Amino acid sequence: VGNGDMTTPLYMTITAGMLDRYIAAGDEVSALDPDTGTDRRKWYFVSGSDFVNFAGLRGFLAGAFGGTLRFTIKATYGDWSSTLNSPLDFISLECGKCDYGRGIRLVRFADVSLPWDGTEQVIEVTIGLGHLWRRVVTGSSWPLASQCDIAAVLSALTSVSILGDFTASGEGVGVDNVEMEVA
């Protein structure tokens, strides 16, 4: 978990609804932008190398193109009726060595087709063309990711990030059962 200053997530050895032996984190300090009222330093659950290197694949997950990324998420505290951060870059897939070492980051934003209001929910997104993945490009308006962008990232995946910092105030979030399913 990180947002500039590293925060150590807690490994919860309890069951809370669908969360069973899960990771949890939260924040109490926000760096609010005076113009927008949103947090300038959002925090994320970031996968370790074990997730992207399972079964000796070393990040080569090309078979996940058209497959599914799935996880369970639940707020443990926080006020989702207050100001939400913007943008809500809910899920990120990153390849650190793609694009001649400059890296490629793909983002799936929370929106009407991928909402989350803090309630316990299984999130399921298709990793493929036509599923609203966007490529982070400096100085641009987040263009839709191309088939090549998605294939490149999945061929050398270095991290998966899940946004934990949805609100401009403090919140706690638990995440469990993060998995990628091949098509």
Q: Tokens 């490149």 map to which residue?
A: 152
Q: Which residues have CB under 8 Å from 67's CB, separation 6+? A: 126, 127, 128, 180, 181, 182, 183
Is the pLDDT at 46 greater than 70? The verdict is yes
21-30, 32-41, 90-99, 134-143: which range is least confident on average?
32-41
Entry pTM: 0.87
Whether residue 175 contacts residue 72, with contact meaning beta carbons closer than 8 Å, is answered with yes
**Pairing status of strand 68-77 against strand 121-126:** antiparallel
Alpha-carbon dihedral sign for residues 123, 129, 132, 133: positive
Instruction: Say whether pLDDT at 147 is over 50.
Output: yes
Give me the mean pLDDT over the 137-157 stretch. 89
In this predicted structure, what is the pLDDT of residue 4? 47
When pLDDT is averaged across residues 112-116 and rounded to a whole number, the result is 91
Cα–Cα dist 34/92, whole Å: 26
Q: What is the reported pLDDT for 28? A: 65
Q: What percent of the chain has pLDDT over 70?
A: 84
User: Residue 24: what pLDDT?
Assistant: 87
